[in-house]
């Protein structure tokens, strides 16, 4: 299995090279030359999460040995996860919340970022690289902490994370600025996530800087979902959820389900799309946005236009206007025409918009797009608790609202798996206010205690007393000084 850039079919690389590079030389994203098929669903039924992960990763990362993949998987999905199932399902009538927040940082990013460091170090050894790898990442809240936790103190690797200073929750912020590890660097950005992400992308394609780094024996890579090593492990949990439904006799083998995903950067739902292309019986991919509803507009009109007001919401990990992973979908729906993809990306860069044609719009018919307003999020949290005695976070609430709308509009009665992307404790203030219809002036850490006490839920150990940890990272920079900041840290 080789990998191309979404913007050029000229140069093929192996999976290990794609993982090390993170992003292609031309600024495109690596995509597999084809999507492998699941030949026999029945054979997957009795596999636990680790065994299933081995099967899926072996299909994509074919220059790794089976022993190497197994070692990566078993080192990643260990006691760091508080559930033996890794990704359990919570049934609420005909909707099933796929709990992706039982890892070290209480968010779905743990599912892939627990294994990426192992894939990365294995790939580096495979190529006998005598170089230092620097992981450069932008985050809207969860990727940063999960990457920091995964890569901390990994020999031969440094990690630099940029996050919008006022664009994450208090808990997310404290998780990052208190991060330990001799190789970890965290910088707060004056700006939003798109500024951070664009700044990181500009650094990746800066040839002069790359040459300077090579002179110092340094190469850059990414822990964002632009890295194929981040994206492929996310396919696993959708297949695992389907098999769980079959095992629990909720559906029959080969029966179709729908999948609902709250998403801003598009990677999480793209993984579900890949699972469908591989043969998993999925009917609709329900793409749920918050009030930054650019993906909703794209799915419904074919127009991607970032000329709009950026909104700060109670689901901050989705406060994104530039969805990087959408480029991989464009590659698929243009029948792998890298020239067309490049023209769309150039139009986005120069005009802040692009429009796909009618044939390409018909190729995204697998998707349903809708969004939730802030009042919808509040109501969804309250409704799920009152109906099912179950507390969900703000991002999961966005997906629940959109999935409910889809059911009402379409009259589609298929079972729905909702990607529950974060613990409610990560956004305790918004969740608590929704459940109590109150405007208490507590800080987020006081809200964590209130949520635990009033709703009889244990505080997850990773954030217990997090506000009492020492702040280790206090640096702030502008988008215009990101490159300079990286150079200073790496002494280039």
What is residue 140's predicted lDDT score, i.e. its pLDDT? 84
Q: What is the pLDDT of residue 263?
A: 94
Residue 162 pairs with which residues in a beta bridge? 138, 187
- pTM score, whole prediction: 0.94
Q: Residue 471: left if φ>0, alpha if ψ -120 to 50, beta else—which one?
A: beta
Terminal-residue alpha carbon distance, the chain: 36
For residue 455, the model assigns a pLDDT of: 94
State how far the Cα of 81 lies from the Cα of 423, in Å rounded to an integer: 13
What does the pLDDT look like over 27-84, one tens digit per residue?
A: 999 999 999 999 999 999 999 999 999 999 999 999 999 999 999 999 999 999 999 9
How far CA 444 is from CA of 2, 110, 191, in Å, comes to: 46, 22, 22
Tokens of 119: 């894939």
Task: Write down the pLDDT at residue 190.
Answer: 96
Q: Judging by DSSP bridges, how do beta strands 30-32 and 2-5 pair with one another?
A: antiparallel
Q: b vs e for 440-450, b when ≥16 Cβ sit within 10 Å of the residue's Cβ?
A: eeeebbebbeb
- Could you report the average pLDDT of every consecutive run of 10 residues in the chain (492 residues)? 95 96 94 96 97 98 98 95 96 97 94 95 93 92 89 93 92 94 96 92 92 94 92 98 98 98 96 98 98 98 96 93 96 97 97 98 98 98 97 98 98 97 95 86 88 94 92 96 95 90
Alpha helices in 61-156 (DSSP H): 66-76, 109-113, 116-126, 142-151
Taking Cα atoms as reference points, which of 469, 458, 476 lies closest to residue 190? 476
Residue 414, pLDDT score? 98
Please give the domain boundaries of the chain with CATH numbers for all domains: 89-104+229-458 (3.40.50.1100)
Question: What is the spatial distance between Cα 135 and Cα 422, in angstroms, rounded to a whole number?
Answer: 24
Q: Find how far residue 259's CA is from the centre of its chain.
A: 16
Distance CA 33, CA 97 (A): 32
Angle between helices 428-436 and 394-410 (to 10 degrees): 60
DSSP E strands, 409-452 = 416-420
Q: Say how many residues make up the chain.
A: 492
Please report, for the chain, how many H helices and E strands are present, in that order. Answer: 20, 16
Tokens of 434: 């929704």
Res 224: pLDDT: 83
For residue 243, the 8-state DSSP code is: H
- The phi, psi pair for 424, rounded to 5°, reads -60, -20
Q: What is the CA radius of gyration of the chain?
A: 21
For tokens 């340094």, the residue is 218
**Are the C-beta atoms of residues 223 and 159 closer than 8 Å to each other?**
yes
How are beta strands 89-92 and 95-99 bridged, if at all?
antiparallel
């Amino acid at each position: 299995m080789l990998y191309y850039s979404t913007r050029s079919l000229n140069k093929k690389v192996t999976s290990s090279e794609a993982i090390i590079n993170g992003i292609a030389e031309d600024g495109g994203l690596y995509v597999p030359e084809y999507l492998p098929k699941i030949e026999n669903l029945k054979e997957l039924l009795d596999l636990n999460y680790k065994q299933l992960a081995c099967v899926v990763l072996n299909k994509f990362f074919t220059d790794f040995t089976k022993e190497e993949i197994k070692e990566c998987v078993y080192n990643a999905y260990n006691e760091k996860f508080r559930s033996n199932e890794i990704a359990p399902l919570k049934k609420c009538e005909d909707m099933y919340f796929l709990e992706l927040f039982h890892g070290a940082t209480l968010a779905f990013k743990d599912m892939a970022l627990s294994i990426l460091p192992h894939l990365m170090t294995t790939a580096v050894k495979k190529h006998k690289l005598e170089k230092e790898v620097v992981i450069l990442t932008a985050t809207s809240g969860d990727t940063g902490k999960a990457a920091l936790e995964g890569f901390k103190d990994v020999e031969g690797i440094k990690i630099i994370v940029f996050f919008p200073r006022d664009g994450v929750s208090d808990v997310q912020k404290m998780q990052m600025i208190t991060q330990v590890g001799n190789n970890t660097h965290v910088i707060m950005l004056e700006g939003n996530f798109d500024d951070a992400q664009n700044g990181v992308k500009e650094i990746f394609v800066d040839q002069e800087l790359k040459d300077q780094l090579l002179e110092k024996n340094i190469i850059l890579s990414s822990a964002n979902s632009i890295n194929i090593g981040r994206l492929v492990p996310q396919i696993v949990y959708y297949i695992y959820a389907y098999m769980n439904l079959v095992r629990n006799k909720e559906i029959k083998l080969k029966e179709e389900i729908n999948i609902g995903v709250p998403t801003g950067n598009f990677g999480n739902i793209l993984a579900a799309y890949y699972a469908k292309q591989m043969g998993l019986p999925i009917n609709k991919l329900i793409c749920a946005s918050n009030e930054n509803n650019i993906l909703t507009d794209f799915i419904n009109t074919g127009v991607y236009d970032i000329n709009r007001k950026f909104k700060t919401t109670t689901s901050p990990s989705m406060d994104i206007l530039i969805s990087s992973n959408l480029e991989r979908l464009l590659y698929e729906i243009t029948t792998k025409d890298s020239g067309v993809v490049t023209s769309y990306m150039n139009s986005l860069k120069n005009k802040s918009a692009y429009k796909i044609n009618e044939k390409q719009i018909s190729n995204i018919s697998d998707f349903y797009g809708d969004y939730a307003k802030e009042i919808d999020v509040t109501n969804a949290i309250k409704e799920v608790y009152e109906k099912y005695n179950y507390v969900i976070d703000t991002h999961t609430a966005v997906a629940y609202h959109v999935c409910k709308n889809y059911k009402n509009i379409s009259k589609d009665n298929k079972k729905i798996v909702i990607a529950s992307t974060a613990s409610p404790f990560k956004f305790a203030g918004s969740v608590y206010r929704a459940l109590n219809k109150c405007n208490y002036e507590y800080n987020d850490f006081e809200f964590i205690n209130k949520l635990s006490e009033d709703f009889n839920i244990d505080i997850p150990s990773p954030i217990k007393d997090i506000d009492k940890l020492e702040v280790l990272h206090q640096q702030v920079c502008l988008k215009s000084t990101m490159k300079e900041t990286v150079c200073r840290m790496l002494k280039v």
